[in-house]
């Protein structure tokens, strides 16, 4: 019988990797909760029209990458390709605009896009993201950018650079659109088919083209900043001044327009020069989207947010050394007594404890402990139980400790001596 394997573009997260993923999620919970952000969990599939309206009919995501199917009631359903649209839908549906502003939300979970798998990028991939909804003040942009920076630092991501741009107000973008179309008219027969389509649907998207020959042409395109109205100039200036005040260095990338239709004003990306990611050096991206909530039928609610791919972060962190987890293995001639001690220690010392269910010989239990990567072994045989003592072996330091009471044992594993 032919072996069934996972579909192309998907990845099993094995037990040997899951501790790293848990580390990333734990840092997210810690960092975001300290700033008052609360977790929201939305369905992994939504009505297709949510993404076609929110992400944009002209986007590559809607045109090429969505996993869309018809359910048994003949409704068009799409596996979510990104997180913001679902959060916006939930914000409207559950009237979160009636609560305090801004609503500070974060999410995690799988997303789905049919694209070419590459380093750190899959067709089912996992994201962590945050959204701050309900404030127009640019200081909330600075808050989410600073939290993104703090989060990446807490994870240990090094050599970070921040690229920012502004795509201005709707009026600024319309003025720029006309200038850009005039420029592009000279090259409409020379660019890729995707860019020909983008020129008709959303000309700004050509600036995000990844074809090297097209990129070379667009280097001479007019700059969007030259079309800014006073409001757009002021907002972008406040952003730059705020980043400098927070001590976050940045570069301005005029080609940075983001790939989704709902963005406005400031957009940003954090990048790393870690060579392990190849050309795909972006680890986190986001921006402001003031009109998305109203375009989806909600009360006008300015918003800003970002997202990162967990696979890419995990890939960067794989080679890093993390503190060894305390792993204790009880070696005993009584499974029931080992079980009682294990449950006690787990509760009292909050330490990982395992034991042998088969009451195998001591030597075999020692081998099992080492295969389970135990850092310590507790010998809890009949003699130790009679005397109320515990023999503890530190497998890494190759040291032994004779502890005369459970209090000493608890202190040993709950304290700093491990």
- In tens, the pLDDT along 296-318 reads 999 989 999 999 999 999 988 88
Q: What is the mean pLDDT of the chain?
A: 89
Residue 115 has which token pair? Answer: 């694209």
For the chain, give the percent of residues with pLDDT over 70: 94
- Whether this model's pTM surpasses 0.75: yes
In this structure, the number of other CB atoms found within 10 A of the CB of residue 30 comes to 11
Cα-based distances in Å from 368 to 15, 75, 329, 360: 17, 53, 9, 10
Say yes or no to pLDDT of 179 above 90.
no
For the chain, give the percent of residues with pLDDT over 90: 62
Alpha carbons 280 and 314: distance in angstroms, whole number:
15
> Can you give the pLDDT at residue 280?
55
End-to-end CA distance of the chain: 50
Q: At what angle do helices 406-414 and 335-349 cross, to 10 degrees?
A: 50
**102: preceding bond cis by omega (within 30 degrees):** yes
Mean pLDDT of 369-386: 94
Q: Residue 159: exposed, middle, or buried by beta-carbon count in 10 A (0-12, 13-18, 19+)?
A: exposed
Residue 69 has which token pair? Answer: 């199917």
CA-wise closest residue to 93 among 292, 262, 305, 298:
298
Domains and CATH numbers, the chain: 15-169+247-317 (3.30.930.10), 172-228 (no CATH), 327-414 (3.40.50.800)
Any idea which of 130-139, 267-276, 365-374 has the lowest mean pLDDT? Answer: 267-276
Say yes or no to pLDDT of 71 above 60.
yes
Mean pLDDT of 172-180: 83
Say yes or no to pLDDT of 320 above 80.
no
Say yes or no to pLDDT of 418 above 50.
no
Is residue 354 a contact partner of residue 332, using CB atoms and an 8 Å limit?
no
Say yes or no to pLDDT of 278 above 60.
no
């Amino acid at each position: 019988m032919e072996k069934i394997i996972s579909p192309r573009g998907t990845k099993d997260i094995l037990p040997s990797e899951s501790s790293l993923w848990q580390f990333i999620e734990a840092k997210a919970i810690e960092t975001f909760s300290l700033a008052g952000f609360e977790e929201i969990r939305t369905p992994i599939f939504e009505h297709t029209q949510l993404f076609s309206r929110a992400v944009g009919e002209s986007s590559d995501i809607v045109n090429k990458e969505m996993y869309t199917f018809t359910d048994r009631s003949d409704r068009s359903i799409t596996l979510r390709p990104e997180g913001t649209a679902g959060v916006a839908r939930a914000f409207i549906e559950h009237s979160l605009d009636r609560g305090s502003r801004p609503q500070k939300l974060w999410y995690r979970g799988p997303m789905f896009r049919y694209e070419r798998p590459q380093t750190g990028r899959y067709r089912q991939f996992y994201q962590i993201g945050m959204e701050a909804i309900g404030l127009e003040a640019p200081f909330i942009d600075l808050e989410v950018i600073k939290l993104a920076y703090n989060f990446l630092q807490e994870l240990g991501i090094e050599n970070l650079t921040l690229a920012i741009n502004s795509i201005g107000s709707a009026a600024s973008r319309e003025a720029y659109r006309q200038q850009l179309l005039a420029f592009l008219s000279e090259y409409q027969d020379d660019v890729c088919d995707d860019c020909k389509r983008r020129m008709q649907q959303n000309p700004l998207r050509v600036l995000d083209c990844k074809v090297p020959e097209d990129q070379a042409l667009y280097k001479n395109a007019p700059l969007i900043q030259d079309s800014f109205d006073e409001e757009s100039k002021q907002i972008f200036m406040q952003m730059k001044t705020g980043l400098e005040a927070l001590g976050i260095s940045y570069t301005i990338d005029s080609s940075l327009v983001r790939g989704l239709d709902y963005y406005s004003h400031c957009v940003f990306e954090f990048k790393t020069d870690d060579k392990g990611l190849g050309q795909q050096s972006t680890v986190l991206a986001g921006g402001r989207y003031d009109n998305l909530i109203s375009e989806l039928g909600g009360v006008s609610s300015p918003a800003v947010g970002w997202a990162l791919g967990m696979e890419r972060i995990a890939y960067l962190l794989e080679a890093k050394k993390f503190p060894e987890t305390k792993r204790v293995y009880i070696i005993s001639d009584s499974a029931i007594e080992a079980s009682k001690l294990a449950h006690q220690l787990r509760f009292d010392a909050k330490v990982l404890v395992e034991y042998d269910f088969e009451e195998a010989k001591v030597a075999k239990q020692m081998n099992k402990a080492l295969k389970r990567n135990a850092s310590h072994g507790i010998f809890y045989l009949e003699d130790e139980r009679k005397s109320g003592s515990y023999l503890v072996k530190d497998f890494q330091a190759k040291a032994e400790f004779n502890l005369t009471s459970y209090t000493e044992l608890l202190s040993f594993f709950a304290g700093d001596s491990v």
